[in-house]
Amino acid sequence: MEKQALLSATGSPGYDDSINPAPIPASSVAAFPEVPQDEEWASAPPAEMLDDVAGYEGTIAGGEGNFVLPPISITEGTRRDEPRPQREWRLISLQYRLESFTESRSTEWKMVPFKGQFVDSSAYGMAPLPWNIIVPMPPMFQDNVSKVPVPHTSSTKGCHSCMTLGKIACTKCTATGMVKCWVCKGRGYQFNDNRCTHCNGTGLQRCDNCSGHGTRACQTCRGSGQLMLFIQLTVKWKNNIFEGIADRESGLPLGLYSKINGQNIFTEQQSRVNPIVSFPDSQINRASQTAIQEHAAQLARTSPIIQQRQTIEFIPITQVHYEWKEKEYSYFTCGTENRVYSPDYPAKCCCCSIL
């Protein structure tokens, strides 16, 4: 999110409300483990294991997936030795913000170990298209990601990593179950030519990596020998924000405005907002028009806009000029909390909220 001095960020064609979404069957969802959203719970299968699913041609395994095009239709303190103000200037700053809440969808093949769970295969019906799948929407203007299996795309395959055996050879002991004794280094005796008591003179000890079995459970199928493949739908909601500052006089660094609270004087929210044209400050009118055009051009058809909100905040700023020890200084009190910005304040204290 980048602020622009003269108001200028990140729209698309309309969202088609005529789609008849298909809900995800409860039995399909129950076939997948419950894990936090931020954990990777399904890996990508090899390309030769993928089935042909109508409507999902070209869906890849791994990576970021294929993007699917949507259907068109500070309290101020005091000090006893504080310099006395000489003169004050009341300044006016306005902040314009446009928020465009968008949704994008992508698909990719995934696989999980098959442990006997329900397999929602094509025998139960045709797979719904990505934009026909109902996914619960998060609160408006909050970033979120949801990953769900596409109904009727699941199938079972033999594990390619272990050749359906459910176990693989231990690489530490080369499938023998034994490794060199760590005490005698495989010699069978110690430095005094006595037989090694740790390995009884054999020079070998049980491999702790496979507990002496010579094999380990396959990590791909978790020992089951079977995998369940399915297409995963990833839905991303993003709040795209444009911000601009109409500041004719104060000269405050633009980065400070993110720390300042102002007073909201205008809010409009709907599926598509129109540019503001009659606000007394022409900078706000230009910013609104620029922001709406930029969002429409940048978001394009892959991320349809669900809702837009534009706001205008009045940010009170007072610039104070004063003398201290025969030198001239100035500072600013900013926002509704009267936070202080004083880059050249002559003394530091702990009782003021300084930006």
231-244 pLDDT, tens per residue? 999 999 999 999 98
CA separation, residue 48 to residues 22, 44, 159, 195, 317 (Å):
29, 12, 12, 55, 65
CA atoms within 13 A of residue 88's CA, in its CB half-sphere: 8
| Cα angle 164-168-173, degrees, rounded to a multiple of 5 | 165
pTM above 0.75, yes or no: no
**CA nearest 121: which of 151, 154, 150?**
154
58-102 pLDDT, tens per residue? 787 776 666 776 765 433 333 334 555 556 667 778 999 999 999
Q: Is the pLDDT of residue 1 over 70?
A: no
* Extents of the domains making up the chain: 85-101+237-341
The number of residues in the chain equals: 355
**How would residue 17 be classed by pLDDT, with cut points 50, 70 and 90?**
very low
**How would residue 302 be classed by pLDDT, with cut points 50, 70 and 90?**
confident
